Amino acid sequence: MTVRRSAAALATTAVLLGVAAPVAVAPVAVAAPSPSPSADLPAGLYGTTDPTYDGVWRQSLAFLAQKIEYVTPSTQAVDWLVGQQCDSGAFTSYRDASKPCDASTVMDTNATAIAVQALVEINQRREDANNGADWLKSVQNEDGGWGYNPGSPSDANSTSIVIGALARTGVPVNELTTKNGSTPYTALQSLAIACGKKDGGAFAYQPGKKGELTANMDATAASVLGLMGKGIASGTSNAVKDPSCTKGDDLSPEQSAQNGASFLADTLKKQPYLEQAPMPGAEESKPQPDYGNTSDAVVALAASGHADKAKASVAWLQKNGTGWAKQGGPAATAQLILAAHATGADARSFGGVDLVKQLNSMGPSPAATALPSPTPTGPQPSSGTDSDDGGLSLGWLIGIGLLAGTGIGFLLSMRGKKKQP
């Protein structure tokens, strides 16, 4: 699980279980956020908790979920997100936009990558998105990947989300070669556990001190998307396949992605949800359900052609995940919407909850909202281009036709062809 979501998960799980949230023993950059009065929050921001560690993340994730449900975020909300960007193109997790970025500003590859994806998806401020993509290219590590902050060791989650952002802006990811010949895909594949070994097909977040690889569910879901060149808001792949784990030392990125999907499918076959480690200080030592990682795994399975293997997990999320989403705020609600969308479930009636309405209520009133809920998007190529006036996807054409038929006259922003744990 990413450190950003780990912090949110600790706070949310504490609320749901009725225990005191533990004090995180971690660097300041990854400490758990604390509640903050809504009056103290900047205008345009989604959510009611302290945005210090996840402001850009939750704002961008909200935009991605709204986009696939035909919701156009307000200008105020978009302006807030773009206002978090530094002149270099980088985003921080959150900053005081009244002060310029300087040498002390902590740049964040994850925040930058998700903000880039969000701006491309809502088809606004494309120049700012491209500026962010250029910055991401400039801080690529020699092994081909990216760490959480520029110069930090590469990890699966950061590398995967950056791949999604670059691919979404039209960058041919497989051509981003370092001096030693490494690509972003090389970096991800180096974290794959070989088929035939314990947890074969899974991915590690980073190597251990001795180079050992330990399976990490969040890293696996993220890597499946990254190796397919997809971003967070991926839909269902039309190429339905049976999960399999391919052995070998010279696998293609697609084969490695399928190995990861096979591991996720096998894991969720045992029980329909993933688990997180017990919370320090909690009386209950039994591992708790990990709603966020389960949602990410659902998206990864659907994007890799295995939506049928995620049905039980979606049913479980409908029954058990809505309370988590409400407590978790915009990011958690957005994750459920993405999982619902990827598998064809109705996000406006998910376990009896209208997740889209819930998300919309967590920020400024949207500029526009359309009905009905769209169907899952199709597969996304691993690289490509997005012009400002590119072709509309079939889902958008259908939506426009429905809007015309009912006399609703507002402009829908298009979702370009490309794009995903």
Least confident of 40-49, 279-288, 387-396: 387-396
In b/e form, how buried is each residue of 5-14, taking b as 16+ CB within 10 angstroms? Answer: bbbbbbbbbb
pLDDT (tens digit, 9 = 90+) per residue, 75-94?
999 999 999 999 999 999 99
Tell me which residue has tokens 């509640």.
Answer: 35
What is the percentage of the chain residues whose pLDDT exceeds 90? 71
Report d(CA 421, CA 409) in Å as an integer: 36
Q: What pLDDT, on the 0 to 100 scale, is given for residue 41?
A: 86
pLDDT (tens digit, 9 = 90+) per residue, 3-21?
454 444 434 433 344 433 3
Q: What pLDDT, on the 0 to 100 scale, is given for residue 416?
A: 35
- Distance between the two ends of the chain, CA-based, in angstroms? 9
Residue 124, number of CB atoms within 10 A of its CB: 19
Least confident of 14-23, 153-162, 408-417: 408-417
Say which residue, 1 or 165, is predicted with more confidence.
165
3-class DSSP assignment, residue 62: helix
Mean pLDDT estimate for the chain: 83
Which amino acid type is present at position 314?
V
Q: What pLDDT, on the 0 to 100 scale, is given for residue 291?
A: 97
Least confident of 156-165, 193-202, 207-216, 365-374: 365-374
Report d(CA 325, CA 348) in Å as an integer: 14
Q: What pLDDT, on the 0 to 100 scale, is given for residue 120?
A: 96
pLDDT above 90 for 415: no
- What confidence category does residue 227 fall into, taking pLDDT thresholds of 50, 70 and 90? very high
CA triple 219-223-229, angle to 5 deg: 150
pTM of the model: 0.81
273 φ, ψ (degrees, to nearest 5): -140, 155
Say which residue, 60 or 377, is predicted with more confidence.
60
CA triple 230-232-236, angle to 5 deg: 65
Structure tokens at 243: 């999960």
Q: What pLDDT, on the 0 to 100 scale, is given for residue 236?
A: 73
Q: What pLDDT, on the 0 to 100 scale, is given for residue 393?
A: 40
